[in-house]
Structure 1
Amino acid sequence: MREQQCAVDVTKYLIRKEMVSSGFLQFDDCPENYWAWKSSFLNATEGLNLSPADMLNLMIKWLGTKSAEHAKRMRRANLFNPAAGLNMTWKRLEETYGSPEVIEGALLKKLEVFPKVGYRDNVRLQELSDLLLEIEYAKEDGYLPGLSYLDTARGTNPIVEKLPSNLQDKWMSVGGKFKEDYGVAFPLFSVFSRFVRQQAKIQSDPSFAFTTSGNQSHRPEKPHRPHGRTSVCTHKTAVPSEVTDYQSTHKVHTIENPDRLCPIHKKTYPLKKCKDFRSKPIAERMSFLKQNGICFKCCRSTYHIDKDCKIPVECSECGSERHIAALHPGPAPAPLETVEPRKDQGREQQGTPLSSVMSNCTEVCG
């Protein structure tokens, strides 16, 4: 009987030892994972009655390459006092990997280096969604106050720029509506994070996995420019290849200069001053610009896009340097004044009296 009891005890010991060993996780030296690793390590060693020296040796085994070096130095410095070495090791690890500033920097760095999401790139969009969810929860826990920076346009817009253009347009509509509904200066980061999760879920839904022949399902983000192509020329003019690429890709309609002739009313004032254009919802305004190949930033040209626009602008309603007042989300703040065209513009219209031209400018914003 005694031999059987010894065999049972040995079996239980081996099983418990295996369970304890399987409960350890290897620390990857990433600050955002430090507290989760520490919690799992302490749970796995609870009840083992390890001495400070044994605990320190076990820590070194399950720490990462860089973090283990900190523990080894603390062990050498306290060779005859393992308890002090253990305490100093925990303190060093929390300063190096567990402080709020270090974790905030690591999370923001992951956002900064995250690559741009391509059109219909469902895998990368889901990865971005998971990263935003991780940051959202860390921010809501309250121990990382520096992440409140993400509740501003300056903090969120660089992340929005990583989305494909179709999702940027959707976010502009969702964010603009949120601002109007709740009367805030900018949507919270949690609103943007939830928006990305919803879009990732929709695009990954097998119910909407449409199949097309060839490569038609992959729409390029930028125009394709074959090597060695020359500019298309006529007898009198040469059309830059960048302009023809942009117009052919965005299906630009043949319109006059939108900074001189309103493409909606065909009258001699810029589109950015048109009262009807300003009164439309932001989604319709952006759709109109896209259909006609007009720059989303300056609203003045059909020969470049917003990311290539070099024209300095400033919104008179919110002070943004990314759009003009005509593209500010939401309705106009007040009735706009009437602006008459210049006299030389009226004289340029052959057979049209100047007074008639001025009377036709009732569609112009102030």
Structure 2
Amino acid sequence: MSPPAKTYTAPPPVIKTEPPPVIKTEPAKPTFADSDKRKDNLFHQTGKQQHTTLNKDSLQVLAENLASSVSLSRLPTPEPPIFTGDPLAYPDWLSSFTTLVELRGVPPLERIHYLKKYLGGPAKEAVGGCFLLRSEQAYEEAKAILNERYGNPFTVTEAFRNKIETWPRISGKDSMALRKFSDFLKQCQVAMKDIPDLAVLNDVRENRKMLQKLPDWVVTRWSRVVARVKKLTNTYPPFENFVGFIQEEADIACDPLTSLGSLRPSTDKDQQGTSNGTTRKRKPGGHTLSTSSKPTTDTESCQFCKKDGHPIQECEAFKAKPMTERQDFVKKGGYCFGCLGKGHISRTALLAASVRNAVRSIQTSLHSN
């Protein structure tokens, strides 16, 4: 058999298709509504951030205030001092009372109670009648009485001058006493700005009264300063220069590195003592006084003012006290009314003939005429 004849099949026709035309579209322009929405979103986001920041800052401030209030609550409550009638302490007391009582919003009717609490002694007695009224007018009247009696410039001036005149004499080796006197003179200088009557301290005679309280070596150095000033200006140095000089000398005397007190911590007292621990140097040609009391030496500390360099018989502060206070001090301390010693009374005190005149001068400080 013959194979079947091959048939030809034509390929399918190719249809050419063109790509669809590309349509170019422009982005839509933002409208006012869209911009407002974005602004609102941005504002809300910024507001949230600021609100979060403010919350953090406020919490931090609150924590700091709470910590400071807790720290302040641990401190003791400040109170004014009790004023007892010293004119030199009145300005400080008045300032503290005004700050701690009046400026804190205390009602006027309650201020009279605080005034009564922070007064004592003669000052409280001076306004005692005002405490019976318990009114705002009574409070103002009490303050007026205190200002007239203790805030008067003449009263303050006399208080400063009296304190200078009754100041005890300073020993040559007592550097701390010199500094204390220097601080008081500085207080006088500051008060001189508000109290014109204190200008009397510039007078030469007033300056000589102050020089009598100082050691000899300080007086000698001040004399050199006076000589230089008089030579240049033909005037006496004012009180301001004197205060500066005393402050400088006090600083030198109290210097912790070069002062005599730092170089020689031990005193110059005689180390050879008797069985009771006291010493006494016998002067040539002197008489021996044997008593049961402790002997008095030039370096013995004063029983009244507790300072070295003078006995109680030579204490200016003791002599300045009223008669009743001196007698009470001797009675309470158990001292002898004859020689101010201890261990005996005036009936048993053995007085040598060579010291009877000295004893009479001692007795005059304890007995009125």
TM-score, normalised with respect to structure 2? 0.51
**What amino acid does structure 1 have at the position aligned with 2:241?**
V
**What amino acid does structure 1 have at the position aligned with 2:214?**
L
| Structure 2 unmatched ranges of 5 or more | 1-67, 271-279, 288-369
Cα drift, residue 95 of structure 1: 1.2
**What amino acid does structure 2 have at the position aligned with 1:87?**
E
Give the match's secondary structure for 2:127: helix
Cα drift, residue 86 of structure 1: 0.8
Q: 2:94 aligns with which of 31, 34, 38?
A: 38
Could you tell me how far apart the structure 2 residues matched to 1:144 and 1:47 are? 26
Could you tell me how far apart the structure 2 residues matched to 1:18 and 1:181 are? 59
Q: 1:170 aligns with which of 221, 224, 227?
A: 221
Contact 1:20 1:44 (8 Å CA) reproduced:
no
Could you tell me how far apart the structure 1 residues matched to 2:167 and 2:205 are? 17
Q: Is 1:157 the equivalent of 2:208?
A: yes
Could you tell me how far apart the structure 2 residues matched to 1:87 and 1:163 are? 44
Q: Is 1:195 the equivalent of 2:245?
A: yes
Could you tell me how far apart the structure 2 residues matched to 1:116 and 1:73 are? 42
Q: How many residue pairs are counted as aligned between the two chains?
A: 210
Q: 1:148 aligns with which of 171, 180, 199?
A: 199
Contact 2:116 2:131 (8 Å CA) reproduced:
no
Cα drift, residue 24 of structure 1: 2.6
Could you tell me how far apart the structure 2 residues matched to 1:154 and 1:162 are? 13
Could you tell me how far apart the structure 2 residues matched to 1:147 and 1:122 are? 27
| Structure 1 unmatched ranges of 5 or more | 1-11, 219-223, 232-366
Cα drift, residue 164 of structure 1: 1.1
**What amino acid does structure 2 have at the position aligned with 1:202?**
I
Percent identity of equivalent pairs: 22
Could you tell me how far apart the structure 2 residues matched to 1:213 and 1:145 are? 43
Paired residue for 1:67? 123
Q: Is 1:51 the equivalent of 2:102?
A: no
**What amino acid does structure 2 have at the position aligned with 1:169?**
T
Deviation digits for residues 86-116 of structure 1 (CA, Å, limit 9, x no counterpart): 1110110011111001111111111111111
Give the match's secondary structure for 1:208: coil
**What amino acid does structure 2 have at the position aligned with 1:93?**
L
Contact 2:126 2:145 (8 Å CA) reproduced:
yes
After the TM superposition, list the runs of 4 or more consecutive aligned residues in structure 1 that deviate by more than 6 angstroms.
12-20
Contact 1:32 1:106 (8 Å CA) reproduced:
yes
Give the superposed CA RMSD. 3.2
Q: Is 1:205 the equivalent of 2:262?
A: no
> Are residues 136 and 213 of structure 1, via their aligned partners in 2, closer, same or farther at CA, if it must alter by over 3 Å?
closer
* Aligned 1:162-311 pairs, distance under 5 A: 162-184=213-235, 186-210=236-260, 211-212=263-264, 215-216=267-268, 226=282, 229-230=285-286
Cα drift, residue 159 of structure 1: 0.5
> Are residues 214 and 194 of structure 1, via their aligned partners in 2, closer, same or farther at CA, if it must alter by over 3 Å?
closer
> Are residues 13 and 206 of structure 1, via their aligned partners in 2, closer, same or farther at CA, if it must alter by over 3 Å?
closer
Give the match's secondary structure for 2:172: coil
Could you tell me how far apart the structure 1 residues matched to 2:186 and 2:160 are? 11
Contact 1:20 1:45 (8 Å CA) reproduced:
no
Contact 2:84 2:122 (8 Å CA) reproduced:
no
TM-score, normalised with respect to structure 1? 0.51
> Are residues 104 and 225 of structure 1, via their aligned partners in 2, closer, same or farther at CA, if it must alter by over 3 Å?
farther
Contact 1:119 1:164 (8 Å CA) reproduced:
yes
Give the match's secondary structure for 1:26: coil
Paired residue for 2:184? 131
Could you tell me how far apart the structure 2 residues matched to 1:94 and 1:159 are? 29
Q: Is 1:104 the equivalent of 2:157?
A: yes
Paired residue for 1:281? none
* Aligned 1:84-95 pairs, distance under 5 A: 84-95=137-148
Could you tell me how far apart the structure 1 residues matched to 2:281 and 2:204 are? 34
**What amino acid does structure 2 have at the position aligned with 1:145?**
P
Deviation digits for residues 272-307 of structure 1 (CA, Å, limit 9, x no counterpart): xxxxxxxxxxxxxxxxxxxxxxxxxxxxxxxxxxxx
* Structure whose alpha-carbon radius of gyration is higher: 2
Could you tell me how far apart the structure 2 residues matched to 1:112 and 1:39 are? 28
**What amino acid does structure 2 have at the position aligned with 1:170?**
R
Contact 1:70 1:92 (8 Å CA) reproduced:
yes
Contact 1:56 1:71 (8 Å CA) reproduced:
no
Contact 2:185 2:243 (8 Å CA) reproduced:
yes
Paired residue for 2:167? 114
